[in-house]
Amino acid sequence: MGATVSGSPLSGRTVYFPSMTEAGVRAIAAAFRSVGIEAQPMPPSDEETLVLGGRHSSGEECLPLKVTLGDVLKLLVHGKVRADRMALFMPTSDGPCRFGQYGPYIKGVLKEMGYGDVLVVSPTCEDGYSGVGDPAGELLRTAWRAMIGAEQLTKLLLRIRPYETVKGAADAAYRRSLSDFCGTVEARGGNTRERMERMKESLACGRRLLRSVPADASVPLPLIGIVGEIFCRLNNFSNDDVVRKVEEAGGECWISDVSEWLWYTNAAHIRTLKRFRKHLTMEMFGAKLKWHFQHKDEAELHSVFGDDFRGYEEPHDIREILDLARPYLLPDGALGEMLLSVGKSVYLHRKGADGVLDINPFSCMNGIVSEAVYPRLSRDCDGLPVRVLYYDGTRTDRRYELDIFMDLVREYSARKKAVRVLAPGMGMKAAVTA
């Protein structure tokens, strides 16, 4: 079924999203449907994704391009969707790295292959998201809430799954919670407040389900921060399911989520306006208003989870992370994920994490720059183990590497000075269960 909403250039098309994070993309697709735009997450990536993506790229592009292009082509060559009924949501940026080229590159390949009718939508805050059409205002707020809710469920999954005593129980509870939440996001009717209440109810249900998973957290596992390039660290296919591999190796993961990046772009927008002395402009007013409402919605959705995330608190303001990166990378000179990865590593150290993995596509400049400063950062953080892992889609077995990393983590953990605050139920004989 195509979009039916009037005033949208997406009318009559199904919007697909690159599968950055399974939960986030499902929730955002549901948010689009809630305003009448038909939207779907990309079907799961597989080996054919890499074959098709590889055949139509030169090898100099980064892995996220190959995966996204391969997924799009898979849909088209198998006739799952007609080109003139498809829209691809491809955010863009004008920064220095190759990301800004993804949209134009994909458009070029599609045209060459006879799929030029696919609409590639690259909305930006500069164009007021006009690519979305009339429902942009309502959609942006719903999509933000949807993403925060999905992230919270994922965070709870990662807190509980390493301790489950019935294999697969946490994943099953998570899947049910996420489906219920996406259904709630999609449901129309009611005003903004009523929709927020419905989302909170669904999250509360998901929380109960996840907390009822049989688990034993009496011995806390080493806490591993997962930072790095946004697509590769969050897309399980691209990073060979690194979170699960760390869990299998005896660790618990704390992954940087998408909202961290969005807070970073908000802060960068305000900083740019200040640099161009646009303090008293409508644009600055809009940016501050957006900041205010996003914070308000985020805090309200977080409140559903009570003290579940005690010890796992994200910084109240993203500028805290940028300040922590400052001794290593200047926030006015370096840009993007390298700043967030470096700043977050220091933040995680202060929260008592036992190690950090920085996940990147092979040849990603973010990983390369961060890797150059990690030895100093690690020395400043009492020898915190920090390891950069690069992925190129070749499915290398990394168990050996991870085992060595986990040995370093355990050695560090036994002597670390930073104290980790434990979440309720952890380190006690009773299980994590409610």
Contact positions vs ligand SF4 (CB under 6 A): 62, 64, 97-99, 229, 361, 364-366
Least Å distance, CB 346 to ligand SF4, is 21
> Rounded distance, CA 85 to CA 93, Å?
25
> Rounded distance, CA 14 to CA 242, Å?
31
| Backbone φ and ψ of 253, nearest 5° | -110, 145
| Backbone φ and ψ of 362, nearest 5° | -55, 135
Least Å distance, CB 288 to ligand SF4, is 28
Give how far Cα 203 sits from Cα of 30, 137, 181, 280, 300, Å: 15, 23, 7, 39, 11
Least Å distance, CB 230 to ligand SF4, is 7
Strand partners, 41: 17
Q: Output 196 or 262, the one with its CB closest to ligand SF4.
A: 262
Q: Output 229 or 297, the one with its CB closest to ligand SF4.
A: 229
Q: Write the DSSP string, 321-379.
A: HHHHHTTTS-TTTS-THHHHHHHHHHHHHHTT-SEEEEEEETT-HHHHHHHHHHHHHHH
Least Å distance, CB 389 to ligand SF4, is 13
Give how far Cα 10 sits from Cα of 13, 41, 93, 278, Å: 6, 16, 21, 33
Least Å distance, CB 224 to ligand SF4, is 22
Give how far Cα 391 sits from Cα of 231, 237, 346, Å: 11, 10, 24
- Those residues whose C-beta lies under 8 Å from the C-beta of residue 18, and which sit 6 or more positions away, are 25, 42, 64, 67, 68, 71, 88, 89, 90, 231
Q: Output 255 or 301, the one with its CB closest to ligand SF4.
A: 255
Q: Output 229 or 308, the one with its CB closest to ligand SF4.
A: 229
C-beta separation of 134 from 182 below 8 A: no
Least Å distance, CB 336 to ligand SF4, is 6
Least Å distance, CB 43 to ligand SF4, is 22
Q: Output 97 or 408, the one with its CB closest to ligand SF4.
A: 97
How many other CB atoms are found less than 10 A from the CB of residue 198? Answer: 16
Least Å distance, CB 60 to ligand SF4, is 10
H or E element in which residue 228 lies: strand 223-228
Q: Write the DSSP string, 202-214.
A: HHHHHHHHHHTS-
Map tokens 């009496």 to a residue. 218
Q: Output 199 or 369, the one with its CB closest to ligand SF4.
A: 369
- Those residues whose C-beta lies under 8 Å from the C-beta of residue 336, and which sit 6 or more positions away, are 95, 97, 264, 366
Least Å distance, CB 63 to ligand SF4, is 7
Q: Which two tokens stand for residue 12?
A: 């009559």
Convert 247-276 to b/e letters by CB count within 10 Å (16 or more is b): bebebbbbbbbbbbbebbebbbbbeebeee
Q: Which two tokens stand for residue 110?
A: 């599609």
Q: Output 98 or 410, the one with its CB closest to ligand SF4.
A: 98
Q: Output 16 or 99, the one with its CB closest to ligand SF4.
A: 99
Q: Output 125 or 365, the one with its CB closest to ligand SF4.
A: 365
Q: Output 365 or 418, the one with its CB closest to ligand SF4.
A: 365
Least Å distance, CB 360 to ligand SF4, is 7
